[in-house]
Every structure is written in structure tokens, then in C-alpha cells.
Amino acid sequence: MASKAETSKTEDVVLRLAEISRLADQLREKRDQLNKEAQELVKERDRLNSLVAEWLAKAREHREKRDEYNQKVADFKIQRDEVHQKLKAKIGERQDTEEVAEKIKDVVTTPVHVLRKRVRELEWTLQTSVLDLKQERELIEQIALIEGDLEIAEQMLSKRQESVRARGEIEDLRLLMNAHHNSVLEFARQSQEENQHMIEAYAEVDVLRKRADEAHRRYLEVRREADESHRRFIEAKQESARLRKEIGEVRLRQRLEKLQVMEERLEQKASTALEKFKRGEKLTMEEFSLLMKRGLL
């Protein structure tokens, strides 16, 4: 028969097995929960990384537009400055023309059309009138003087016309320069807007990247906890298997011990029955059956 100590030990092992089984269930549940949490963290990390990629693309797009606008600003500045140089040159030319015209004006005060009419009249007189040599010479000299004045007056008129044309060109150049300057201001404004959008996009990238990194850090932490729970679960299952085996061995040994005790009792009964048989005493059916089973009769 099993001793009280061995029976107590077996009971302790059974209790330990129940405890280990409960622990294994708890560890499995915790592991599965942590694995589920890790999967959710992976999804969140990947979602955030996807948003990071989207905002990076937006930031690059805004940067490219900003650079494009900056190039336009530079181009229009060059064009504006080129027109400004032409404008300064044209203003200088007009000033020179005005100065020449003013000088000529002081020399000849009679209008061109009056001088032309006077020349025509004198030439007509010269051609149609009978003049002596002196009168003819005087008339020719008078025509020459008037033609000289006419040439100077025509130069003044030409300079005035040049000045008028120059004034129109100056106004056109000033309008073109202002248009280029307005383009510089407009593209500079758009460049600033795109630069601000780019800064905001990169700021959003930083925020999302930090959240993605935190999700990844948390994922690694949960993954380690899940792996640790799984390791302890495996250890608990192995311990459970060992205890079940130990309990099985103890119970098998106890059954064998019981069978041995029963066998010893049967052997004792068979020996007693055989002695009775030898003495010629009457056997019971149980004693007779026992001797027959053991081949003693």
C-alpha cells in the first residue's frame, strides 16, 4: 500500500498541476492579447508611415512649386532690370533731344509752315517777275537765308517729333517695367505661400513620424512581452506535462502495489485452501475456484 507521505506528495503534485494549468491558461490568454495588441500597433504604425509618405510628397510638391516661383521671380527681376536700363537710356535720349530742340528754338522762332510758304512765294516771284540782276541776287540771297532758317526749323520740328515718340516709348517701357515688377511681387507672394505650406507639411511629417516611431517602440515592447509570455507558457506546458507524467507514474505504481497486495492475499488464501485440501477438509466454492485458477488441483 502507498504510504501517507507518498499519498500527500501525490496530492501536492496534483495541486501543483492545477496551479500550473491555470498559469498556462493565463499566460496563453495574456500572450494572445498581447499579440492582438501588437498587430493593432503594427497597423497603426503602418498607417502613420503611409501618412508620413503622403505628407512628404506634399512637402516636396510645395518645395518644387516654391522653387519654380522663385525662378520666375529671378527671371522677371532680370527682365524688369533690363527694361529699367532701357528706360533710363530712353529718358536720357529724350532729354538730349529736348535740349537740342530748346537750343534750336532760340535760333529760329518762325514756324516751319510759314517759312515754307515764304520760300514758295519768293521762288514764284523769282520765276515769274522781271528783275534786274541786283534784284535777282537779293531775292536769291533772301531765299537762301529763309531756307537756312527752314532747315533749322525742320530740325527743331524733327527733334520735337522724336521727343514725342520717345515720350510714348518711355511710357510703354515704364508700363512694361511695372508689369514685370508686379509679376515679381506676385510670384514672390506665391513662393512665400508655397514655402509656408512646405514648412507646415514638414511639421506634420515630424508629428506623424514621432507618432509612428512611438507606435513602433510600443510594438517592440508589446512583442517582447508577448514573447516572454509565450516562453513562460511553453515552460508551464512542459512543467504540466512533466507533472502529469509524474502523477501517471505514481498512480501506475500505486495500482501495481495494490495488485501485488491482492496477489499476496490470494496466494495466502490459495496456500491455506491447499492445506485444507491436503488434510481432506471440505473447501468452499471460492477456495476451490482459486485453486483451479492457479492450477493447484
Residue 148: predicted pLDDT: 74
- Which residues of the chain carry a pLDDT beneath 50? 1
Instruction: Report if residue 227 sits inside a domain.
Output: yes
First to last CA, the chain: 31
Instruction: Report if residue 295 sits inside a domain.
Output: no
Instruction: Report if residue 229 sits inside a domain.
Output: yes
Instruction: Report if residue 38 sits inside a domain.
Output: yes
Instruction: Please tell me the distance from the alpha carbon of residue 122 to that of residue 129, in angstroms, as a whole number.
Output: 10
**DSSP of the chain, one letter per residue?**
---HHHHHHHHHHHHHHHHHHHHHHHHHHHHHHHHHHHHHHHHHHHHHHHHHHHHHHHHHHHHHHHHHHHHHHHHHHHHHHHHHHHHHHHHHHHHHHHHHHHHHHHH--S-HHHHHHHHHHHHHHHHHS---HHHHHHHHHHHHHHHHHHHHHHHHHHHHHHHHHHHHHHHHHHHHHHHHHHHHHHHHHHHHHHHHHHHHHHHHHHHHHHHHHHHHHHHHHHHHHHHHHHHHHHHHHHHHHHHHHHHHHHHHHHHHHHHHHHHHHHHHHHHHHHHHHHTTPPPPHHHHHHHHHTT--
Instruction: Report if residue 204 sits inside a domain.
Output: yes
Containing domain of residue 168, as a range? 21-240
Instruction: Report if residue 271 sits inside a domain.
Output: no
The number of distinct structural domains making up the chain is 1
Tell me the whole-structure pTM to 2 decimals: 0.60
Instruction: Report if residue 15 sits inside a domain.
Output: no
In the chain, the amino acid numbered 285 is: M
Residue with cell 504510504: 3
Provide the greatest CA pair distance for the chain: 213
